[in-house]
Structure formats: C-alpha cells, structure tokens
Structure 1
Amino acid sequence: MEGKTCKEFDESCIFCHFAHNRDVETTILKQDEEFVCFRDIDPVAPHHYLVIPRDHIVSCKSLNRSHIDLVERMAKFGKEVLLDQGITDMENVRLGFHQPPFISVGHLHLHVLAPASQISTYMQHKFTPGTDRFITVRLANKFSSYFIFFLYYCNVFFT
C-alpha cells in the first residue's frame, strides 16, 4: 500500500467510486473539482465526515512535500463543510488521518469531527491526537512548517 502515490481512479476502491459519482447510495454533502465529502458510516461524533481527494492516493504514508497544499486544501474543505452544517466553534473540531495499519479503506481520507469534546468514549483511543493511530491536521498561518513535521511523523521520506 505505502509505495503507491496517486492515480486518478482505482476500480477496486469504494472511495474512488464515491469520488467519481459511481455510487448512488452515498449522500455527498459537498463536492468540487478536487474533493468529495460524505458522512462516515460509523460516526464517533455528532458530525463525523470524510473528505477525500478525487484522485486515488493510498494513505498519508503516500504523501510527500508536493502534497502540502493538497492536505491544506482538504482541511479547509472540511471546515467549510462544518460551516455549511452550522458548526461555528472551530476550536472544538478535530481533523486528522489514520495511518496504516489503522485504515479500513486504502484511499486518503481526512476525518472531520465536531464537536471533538463529544467523540464517543469507546472510540476516543482511535482519534487521540499525537498517536500512531491519528495524526491531526491544524490550520495555521505558517502551515508548511507544520506539514514538514506531519510528513515526518507519517514516515514520509523526502526525495
């Protein structure tokens, strides 16, 4: 899984089907030319959404420096979805990725959780920031320096 970086569509990937409007059962909350957002099928918070790129990227371990802007745009898109849903308290939001082996679908997906204070007790371990299971994304004015750490944490090698 980790060696693949990106291709437009993977026929065997359910999220690729969502991203390319080939699934009629999934309700898409928001989409544009680059991303698609839908509800997580097993939500752990009142608002639990997934933002996926239309292009097939396997996981956060497939990211490199060229993806810094992509991840920043994914986080911004996720926050826009929350605003569309009436969530304005962005201090109580958690954005992040699981990394292998803690992913269930091999297509990069950003978890958007709100309010983070209401993440179900039995699933908090899976969404704890700073663990191997959940790598958080934070929006800041100097986003790039954070992502160098983020990419390092995901064991991404800079080539």
Structure 2
Amino acid sequence: MASREPNCLFCKIVAGEVPAEIVREGERTIAFRDINPQAPTHVLIVPREHVATAAEAAHADVGLLDEIAREAEEVAKVDGVAETGYRLIFNTGTGAGQTVFHVHGHVLGGRGLEWPPG
C-alpha cells in the first residue's frame, strides 16, 4: 500500500491486520460490511491508500471517488439492492459524523431510506 497511517482502523483492515467481512476487492478499493449496520445492506468502501476525507480525495486523486461510486453499484448488485435502490454516503468531518478519518463511502439499502436523513 502506497500510503498508510499506522493507527488508522481502515488501513489495518486493508492490510489484513484487523478482520472484516470482505464483500469485494478491487485494485484500488476494498469493500466490507459495517460492524454496526444501519440497514440490511451496509457496506463500507475504502481506498487502499490512506486519504482522510472525501474532500481530500477529490483534490488528491483524480478518479478515486468515481471508483468508489462504481464499486458501490457492484456492491448493490451483489446484495440485490441495485434495482430497488441504495444510498451512497460520504460523511466528511466530525460535524457530519465522520469517526474514522480514512475516506469511505457507506452503501445502504434493503429498507426504506427516509429523506431527509438524520
């Protein structure tokens, strides 16, 4: 892995040091089930390289957020929610609820998702 933070939980999952239920692995991303799911489908998609937030990813690596969005569609297909609908969420910063500062997209589906969210 090109860039890694030694105390980052998601970097440790990417490195195989912390177990996770892997859904998909790509060249640049890895998708795994959230340990505290908020919907029947709740999968996190993270880049293999450490980037702290979606805002940083937008400036640091052209195409990274696009790749996460493509992986979200594949995860939705694997979990059977692509046709009924799913939500892809990036929490950016503590005020938005980001608790692990390694950019990650939440794929949520399999139940009604109200608007506006929490």
Confirm or deny a common fold (TM above 0.5).
yes
**Which residue is equivalent to 1:86?**
80
**Which residue is equivalent to 1:100?**
93
- Identify the match of residue 12 of structure 1 among 7, 14, 35: 7
1:64 CA drift (Å): 3.4
1:84-110, Cα deviation, whole Å (9 max, x unpaired): 1222315x2111200111211010000
User: Does structure 1 retain, via aligned residues, the 8 Å contact 2:57–2:103?
Assistant: no
Aligned ranges 1:27-106 → 2 under 5 Å: 27-65=21-59, 67-89=61-83, 92-101=85-94, 102-106=97-101
SS at match of 1:33: coil
Percent of matched pairs sharing the same residue: 27
Cα–Cα, structure 1 residues 105 and 65, in superposed 2: closer, same or farther, change >3 Å? closer
User: Does structure 1 retain, via aligned residues, the 8 Å contact 2:44–2:105?
Assistant: yes
1:53 CA drift (Å): 0.1
User: Does structure 2 retain, via aligned residues, the 8 Å contact 1:94–1:116?
Assistant: no
Number of aligned residues = 114
Q: Distance in 2 between matches of 1:11 and 1:27?
A: 21
Taking structure 2 as the reference length, the TM-score comes to 0.84
Higher helix share: 1
Taking structure 1 as the reference length, the TM-score comes to 0.64
Q: Distance in 2 between matches of 1:20 and 1:113?
A: 24
CA radius of gyration, larger in: 1
